[in-house]
Amino acid sequence: MLEKTDYCGLVSGADVDKSKVFEVFYGALRTAPMIRDCPVALECRLVQAVGLPTNTLFIGEISGAYADPAVIKGGKPDFSAIDPLLLTMPDNTYWQLGKVAGKAWNAGLTFKKGTQEM
């Protein structure tokens, strides 16, 4: 999902409809779309939106957690099975448990090019 995730950061929702990039599902709130292919999804309720000079910081409260049973071992998340994708800044690098997975605002360029040809 690295390329699709990065693509969503490369393009603006004001210019591109990103709603079809991932298949989504809804939890108990019925208002927070979550990505079906993610092994773990957290459903959040918006608590506060804080305007910053260049962005808006959204503060949420987790109201539900959903996980593929295959990534739960002994009632706890198995992070090697989850295989999380992490973004660090300011180096704009994606990581997978200890190794670099790809560069942010770069890995999605191939996917972006493919969407322009559709």
pLDDT digits (tens, 9 = 90+) for 11-38: 999 999 998 999 999 999 999 899 999 9
Helix axis angle, 2-10 to 109-116, nearest 10°: 70
Measure the CA–CA gap between 30 and 97, rounded to whole angstroms.
Answer: 32
Q: Which two tokens stand for residue 118?
A: 């559709």
Residue 99 φ/ψ, nearest 5 degrees: -135, 150
Closest among 24, 26, 7, 25 to 16, alpha carbons compared: 7
Residue 83 scores a pLDDT above 70: yes
Q: What angle do CA 42, 16, 113 make, to 5 degrees?
A: 100
What domain count does the chain have? 1
The pTM (predicted TM-score) of the whole model is 0.76
**For residue 118, what pLDDT is reported?**
62
**Are 7 and 13 contacting, i.e. CB atoms less than 8 angstroms apart?**
no
pLDDT of residue 99: 79
User: Residue 75 belongs to a domain with what CATH number?
Assistant: 2.30.110.10
pLDDT at 100 (0 to 100):
86
**Residue in the block written with tokens 């910081």:** 57
Instruction: Give the domain range for residue 103.
Output: 2-116
